[in-house]
Structure 1
Amino acid sequence: MPATETFRIPKHRRHVPAARQYVRKALADWGVTDELADAVTLSANELVTNAVTHCRVSFAHVMVSLTLCGPELVLEVADPDRNRLPRLHAPGPDEEGGRGLALVAALADDWGHRQEPYAKHVWARFRLTGASEGARVPDGS
């Protein structure tokens, strides 16, 4: 049975560090460490930052979910601005931002997004390899 950790943060940049901490703790609890934990945490940082930066819905919350199922870990970030879909683009050398999705694409085995009636979800999938294959799915007891 998959293990899932889900939490919400207010849509504001000052809450991005809290999201990183929640992700890092969940991964540690599951025994996911080293480079994979770093890649997932950095990807979460980028996706949450995008959500709080680009969501135009007032007083919104951003939902972050981690799911550990077999040899795969899925990170998903959702916000209620369903029509502002993420897109990769090539920022100029002088642009401050615009590299987050390229970073997620480089770190994850796969990534994408989906629209639901009241939200969009951006996800990144990571395969467990090496030491992370020993990640433990909590038994619920």
Structure 2
Amino acid sequence: MATVTADHERRDTFRVSKRRRNVPIARTRVRKALANWGVDADLADDITLSADELLSNAIRHCRVTFAQIEISVSVRAGDLLLEVTDPDGDKLPELRAPSSDEEGGRGLYLVAKLADEWGHSHRQHAKCVWARFVIPNEVTCTD
């Protein structure tokens, strides 16, 4: 459930197990939160696609067998922050331009193109890959 805090931050944070079948579930939850907050449909498409790519990367590259991956979407002061955190803190993502003959390898490249800013941070026994999107107009929470 999306929440509104006293300082008007809207946040939805949830966890999924490291299984490919959880990607559509997470995508739907992110999309629903964005819709409830009144985020523009085109921007919501970019954010949802980015969430899909970051979660897929975490599932594919996290070396912890039974990992729980945390997805957080928050809005504050005209910015939307998407964070995907997994417990494989030693393996950091690398942005690389995909070659035209590769079937994969475009996820992080795509996120970098869609987001206004992206990066990663090391946390105790975990890493967080994040993407920040500027929201052109203030959103209003309708949930």
Q: Same fold (TM over 0.5)?
A: yes
1:135 to 130, 135, 139: 139
**Corresponding residue of 2:51:** 44
- What SS is found at the alignment partner of 2:26? helix
- What SS is found at the alignment partner of 1:25? helix
**Corresponding residue of 2:119:** 112
Q: What are the Cα deviations for residues 117-136 of structure 1, in whole angstroms up to 9, with x where unaligned? A: 1110000000011xxx1411
TM-score of the pair, normalised by structure 2:
0.91
**Corresponding residue of 1:86:** 93
- What SS is found at the alignment partner of 1:111? strand
Q: Gapped runs of 5+ residues in structure 1?
A: none
Which one-letter code corresponds to 2:119 in the other structure? G
How far is 1:138 from its partner?
Answer: 6.9
How far is 1:56 from its partner?
Answer: 0.6
2:63 to 56, 65, 79: 56
Quick check: which one's helix share is greater? 1
Aligned-residue Cα RMSD (Å) equals 1.4
Task: Give the % identical residues.
Answer: 54
Q: What are the Cα deviations for residues 3-61 of structure 1, in whole angstroms up to 9, with x where unaligned? A: 11001011011110011001000101111131110010000000000000000101111
Aligned length: 136
How far is 1:107 from its partner?
Answer: 0.4
Q: Is the contact between residue 68 and residue 137 of structure 1 (CA under 8 Å) also seen in structure 2?
A: no
Which one-letter code corresponds to 2:85 in the other structure? A
- What SS is found at the alignment partner of 1:97? coil
Q: Gapped runs of 5+ residues in structure 2?
A: 1-6
- Deviation >2 Å, runs of 4+: none
Q: Is the contact between residue 3 and residue 138 of structure 1 (CA under 8 Å) also seen in structure 2?
A: no
